[in-house]
């Protein structure tokens, strides 16, 4: 079976960490990532927090989420995306992992500060604030990647 294209691997990983690994023929790794995603999701009440956040009950989402479990989620999620991207068809560079690593870090830190951040007097919460933290993580990761590639050549 031909491995998926890099963008296809990323989209399957966004849907569920581990699916792209299965498409890449890495059944054990894919099953492990899916299992970890389910374990962390259930233990952290992540889906319920998403439901509360998208229905406007941000304070309720912040109350029910188990932060100690949820802090593992960005790392598993973004590792699954990077691993699928790395194994997918197409050329990559040595530093392709950097945007994924910096994003995992910024989302995890964003989760820690999510209940302390407000906008116009409203708490942004444990779902939306970490999502906003994806942007600086990607930008910093891409900047470091481009800088390292420039310096190395």
pLDDT (tens, 9 = 90+) of the chain, 153 residues, equals 677 788 888 999 999 999 999 988 899 999 999 999 999 999 999 999 999 999 999 999 999 999 999 999 999 999 999 999 988 877 777 889 999 999 999 999 999 998 877 777 778 899 999 999 999 999 999 999 999 888 876
Tell me, what's the pLDDT at 121? 77
* CA dist., res. 109 & res. 86, Å (int): 25
Domain edges within the chain = 6-152
CB 81 within 8 A of CB 75: no
Tell me, what's the pLDDT at 1? 65
Tell me, what's the pLDDT at 117? 73
CB 115 within 8 A of CB 125: yes
The full length of the chain comes to 153
Non-local CB neighbours of 93 within 8 Å, separated by 6+ positions = 145, 149
| pTM value surpassing 0.85 | yes
């Amino acid at each position: 079976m031909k491995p998926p294209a890099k963008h296809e691997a990323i989209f399957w990983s966004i849907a569920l960490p581990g699916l792209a690994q299965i498409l890449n023929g890495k059944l054990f790794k894919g099953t492990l990532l899916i299992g970890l995603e389910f374990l962390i999701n259930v233990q952290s009440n992540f889906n319920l927090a998403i439901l509360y956040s998208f229905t406007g009950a941000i304070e309720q989402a912040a109350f029910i989420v188990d932060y100690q479990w949820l802090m593992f989620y960005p790392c598993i999620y973004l590792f699954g995306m990077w691993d699928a991207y790395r194994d997918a068809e197409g050329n990559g560079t040595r530093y392709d992992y950097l945007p994924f690593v910096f994003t995992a870090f910024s989302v995890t830190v964003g989760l820690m500060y999510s209940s302390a951040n407000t906008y116009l007097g409203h708490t942004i919460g444990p779902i939306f604030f970490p999502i906003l933290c994806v942007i600086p993580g990607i930008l910093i990761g891409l900047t470091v990647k481009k800088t390292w590639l420039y310096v190395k050549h």
